[in-house]
Structure 1
Amino acid sequence: MLAAGRLGLRALFPTRCIACGDAVGTDFGLCGACWSEATFARGTVCDACGTPLPGESDTAILCDDCLTHPRPWAQGRTVMHYAGTGRDLVLALKHGDRLDLVPPLADWMARAAAPLLTPDTLIAPIPLHRLRLLRRRYNQAAELARALARRTGHDYCADLFTRARPTSSQKGKTRDERHANLDGAITVTPRHAALLQRRPLLIVDDVMTSGATLSAATEAALSAGAEPICTVTLARVAKAP
């Protein structure tokens, strides 16, 4: 009966590709065309940002970008490259009010972040300044982080970080300009500082480009006593291997 009911529902409401809307065979899946346009971070990846790397290695290795610009966090992972389907999904979530994407994307992030999680890891998102939050109506990083914590069973703190001041868009800025733009902009919310004493932390964001935003949050958390600090993103802006 239950199986028949499901078949009937699928006949009326066929499952759709989460990226383009074409019919697919499984819930929360990608069609063949969108899958071919997605570069997932699998196999050998950079231990600091998660970008996929060619070849195989039994030891932790870093991509050229993370070797040139060492990260303040201990380890990082990502789900996919910010290109093709990856870019489409990020933009749909960020600017297209596609909150229906949060559950499947958080599942992907849970798989990517699994090597970084310990039983007492605290999960927290990169914050939006209140003025930008009013315009956007929700923080996509917070939505992903909340769903990720629920999926993995870890503690979650939505407002662990605070945007102390509004910042201009990072688009079009150089690496140095991005870091200068974020200097002092992210702080640990004082009432939550005690949560971080010698505690593992996983910081969640939708996209990593230069790493300036994640670095600003990491440095604030390090000052508050968190250790070790890891990061996970939905997408990484990088060249495909």
Structure 2
Amino acid sequence: MQEGLHQLKYQKRIAFADGLSRAWNQVIASQTMNMSADYLLPVPLSIQKLGVRGFNQSWELARRIDCAPHIQQSPYILKRHHYSENQAGNPLVNRQTSIRGMFYIEPIHIDLLAGKIVVVFDDVMTSGATLNEIASILKDNGVSRVINWVLLRTSRPT
């Protein structure tokens, strides 16, 4: 699956999102169809990164995930400020400190999230710093519970 994700993310081969999400659905969807959640949100890219890549790989995967019909999927609720450096290859300590304050919720959506259960989807988890920061932002803004889903997990954070 790692090669498929690299093709999607770095070679802009969007068709790989179908195969990767199909694999997810075959393995995981039966366990999540009846779960209690209100929103499924992808980890966002900054507007600048989105412009360079052309798409958000986490959203391309998340929007294809089979989940209960009451779970709203949206790429517009969570936002990310631009960070000039890539996290990939950054030491663990740098990842944890550089990600602070990077994410925010669009103000028009804050009331919608109050008391809700939110699933955050990311393509890859390395140190967990990104998902921890997003969970903190969501909880600070009234979300009652955050669940993290990731397609792939690196074997060892550096």
Contact 1:112 1:232 in 2 (8 A): no
The amino acid of 2:45's aligned partner reads L
2:110 corresponding residue in structure 1? 193
SS at match of 2:89: coil
SS at match of 1:191: helix
The amino acid of 1:94's aligned partner reads K
Aligned match for 1:101, one of 9, 16, 37? 16
Work out whether 1:183 is the aligned partner of 2:100: yes
Distance 1:119 1:171, change over 3 A: closer
Task: Give aligned pairs, total.
Answer: 152
1:112 corresponding residue in structure 2? 28
Distance 1:197 1:117, change over 3 A: farther
The amino acid of 1:224's aligned partner reads N
The amino acid of 2:12's aligned partner reads D
Distance apart, 1:182 and its partner CA = 0.5
Work out whether 1:202 is the aligned partner of 2:119: yes
SS at match of 1:165: coil
Deviation digits for residues 157-209 of structure 1, max 9, x if unmatched?
Answer: 11111112324111222211101110100111111112211111110111000
Distance in 1 (CA, whole Å) between partners of 2:47 and 2:16 is: 23
The amino acid of 2:47's aligned partner reads R
Distance 1:117 1:134, change over 3 A: farther
Distance 1:120 1:170, change over 3 A: closer
2:38 corresponding residue in structure 1? 121
**Larger RCO: 1 or 2 (CA < 8 Å, sep 6+):** 2
Distance 1:137 1:117, change over 3 A: farther
Distance in 2 (CA, whole Å) between partners of 1:231 and 1:119 is: 13
Aligned match for 2:7, one of 81, 92, 102? 92
Distance apart, 1:117 and its partner CA = 5.9
Distance in 1 (CA, whole Å) between partners of 2:107 and 2:125 is: 26
Distance in 1 (CA, whole Å) between partners of 2:13 and 2:5 is: 10
Distance apart, 1:106 and its partner CA = 1.7
The amino acid of 2:79's aligned partner reads T
Contact 2:41 2:62 in 1 (8 A): yes
2:152 corresponding residue in structure 1? 235
- TM-score, structure 1 as length reference: 0.58
Distance in 1 (CA, whole Å) between partners of 2:121 and 2:84 is: 19
Contact 2:46 2:81 in 1 (8 A): yes
Contact 1:124 1:158 in 2 (8 A): yes
Unaligned runs of at least 5 residues, structure 1: 1-85
Distance 1:186 1:142, change over 3 A: same
Distance apart, 1:219 and its partner CA = 0.9
1:34 corresponding residue in structure 2? none
Contact 1:126 1:142 in 2 (8 A): yes
- TM-score, structure 2 as length reference: 0.86
Contact 1:168 1:181 in 2 (8 A): no
Distance in 1 (CA, whole Å) between partners of 2:148 and 2:95 is: 18
Distance in 2 (CA, whole Å) between partners of 1:100 and 1:171 is: 23
Distance in 2 (CA, whole Å) between partners of 1:198 and 1:159 is: 19
Q: CA RMSD in A?
A: 1.9
SS at match of 1:104: helix
